[in-house]
Structure formats: structure tokens, C-alpha cells
Amino acid sequence: MSRPHAVVTGAASGLGRTIAEDLAAQGWDVTGVDIQADRLTQAAAEIARATGRAIRALVVDLGDVGAAAGAIAEAWATAPIDGLVNAAAIYPAIPYLELDAKAWTHVQTVNVTSPFFATQALARLALAAGRTPAVVNVASGAARRARPGASHYSTSKAALVMATQASAIELGAHGIRVNAISPGFFAVDSAANPVTAEYEALLSETVLPGPADAGSLAATVRFLLSDAARWITGAVIPVDGGSGAGTNRLPLHWTGTTAWQRASAAEEERS
């Protein structure tokens, strides 16, 4: 029996690389897609040493609107695709009043347009072959929570959530599932948007203690690609340590007893 084949975009670094390595370790054949040729080659070699499984490397610029479909076709030519993980994204922090149309368009193309058309290309190939792959998009908590310098990024991730749901609705009848994960803050090695220790500390405050768990994120992706998730589509699953639920870092906003507590105590005394 042939091994399942996954395509992971953004596989040269960050969460994409973590996901690619996890899938390889669990017996998947993996095709990694990234624009960073040297880092993708290095990642492929290191994953092979760590897992004993080689991954194919496709150097693709997903900032080119037509490149995503081409990457899917090239990967499919080596073996039918059972899983697609759209993890590639860019986040060049730019203040709102300095953001221009070129930067805006580039972020939208990489972060939402390319995942959409990669999914569409895969669906067309899969339908012709009578196969039912699964897709996982890597969204972000930024889709629901804006922050300075990220108007283009937050917008793209919100659009990616809707693209996930729209794709799920239209492809569900064909047995193709499309879901998303919504990570909290994960420190990644990004030359485009390095972060300060102060910024990382602020965004790393979560309900669950400890640093962000990339292993849990990768396992969630693997689950969504698996047959165990066969009744899940159009879902957006937070993998954020509880940060999307709220915060436990704020002090109580009252002192002493409240009016409600005093009235309740008085009523108890009368009864």
C-alpha cells in the first residue's frame, strides 16, 4: 500500500517546517514548498536525518498568483496528493499610514489567494482521479484580533478563515474536507518581521502555562488530515493555549464586596 502524500507550503522554516517534519515522522511522503531555496534544501536534509524520510523540495514564489496551482500540479505528477497544508505566510510589520498597495497586495496574494487557488487546483485534480484529499489552512488569532502594524496580515488571515469555510461548503459534496487551525503566537525565525523580547512576552501570555507547543499544533494538523477527522470540515480550531478564550492576567476590577453580594447577604439574613 502506498504511503499518503502531503504538500506543505512554507516548509523551509517556522510552523510549516514543524508540520512537514511531523508528517514525515508519521509515515507521510512530503513535498515541501517554499520560496527560500537554500533554507528549503537545508530543512529537507535535516528532516531526512531526523526522520529517515526524504522530502521533496519545490522552490515556488507564492507571491505569483499563478504559482500555487502550478506547484500542486507538479507535486501531483510525482504522486496523488492526500493532504495539503497551506502554511506559507508573510507578516512584514507596516504601520497603517505607511502601508501601500504593493505591500497590501503581496500579503493578500501569499496569505490567502495562493492557498485558495492551491486548494482549487487540488480539488480539480482529485475529482478527475476520484480521490478525496483533505486541506488544512494555517490561519491565525490575528484574524479576530487586530494589532498595530498588522492590518494587511490580520485582514488576510480573516479572509483565509472565510476561504476555508467557503471551500468546505462547495467541496464537501465531493468528499473533500477543508479546515483551518488558528495558532496563537509562535516565535518563528522571520527576517521579514523579527520581534522583540518584550513583544514576544506580551503575546505569549496564555491561559495554559508554558511556551507555545508547536508539537501540539502539528499533531492537530495531522489529525485534521486523517480519516479520524472524516466528519469535520469548515472548522477553525484554535491551537493557542487558550488565549482566544480570554485572559487570566487581569486583576479583579473591584475591591471589597459588590452591591450584588451585599444585597444577597442581606436577603440570606432575612430568610
- Annotation marks residue 91 as catalytic: no
144 vs 24, residue with greater confidence: 24
Mean of all residue pLDDT scores within the chain: 89
What does the pLDDT read at residue 207?
Answer: 67
Locate the DSSP E strands across the chain.
5-9, 29-34, 56-59, 83-86, 134-138, 177-183, 236-239
| Residues 6+ positions from 107 with CB-CB distance below 8 Å | 90, 91, 92, 152, 153, 156
Q: How many angstroms separate the CA atoms of 12 and 81, rounded?
A: 19
Compute the average pLDDT of residues 250-254: 61
Q: Where are the alpha helices (DSSP H) in 172-252?
A: 197-203, 214-225
On whether the CB atoms of residues 72 and 123 are closer than 8 A, the answer is: no
Higher pLDDT pick, 142 / 56: 56
* Global model pTM greater than 0.75: yes
Higher pLDDT, 240 or 220: 220
Burial of 132 (0-12, 13-18, 19+ CB in 10 A): middle
Greater confidence, 261 or 174? Answer: 174
**Confidence category of residue 252, pLDDT binned at 50, 70, 90:** low
Q: Which of 254, 236, 219, 224 is nearest to 163 (CA)?
A: 236
Q: Looking at the predicted structure, is the pLDDT value of residue 145 above 60?
A: yes
Mean pLDDT to the nearest integer, 126-153? 94
pLDDT above 80 (res 67) = yes
Q: Which three cell numbers stand for residue 25?
A: 515522522
Distance CA 100, CA 146 (A): 18
Catalytic residue among 91, 96, 153, 199: 153
Which of the pair, 141 or 265, is modelled with greater confidence? 141
C-alpha cell at 199: 513583544
**pLDDT tens readout for residues 161-185:** 999 999 999 999 999 999 999 998 6
Give all domains of the chain, ordered by start, each with its CATH number. Answer: 5-270 (3.40.50.720)
Q: How many helices (H) and strands (E) does the chain have?
A: 9, 7
User: Which amino acid appears at position 92 of this protein?
Assistant: P
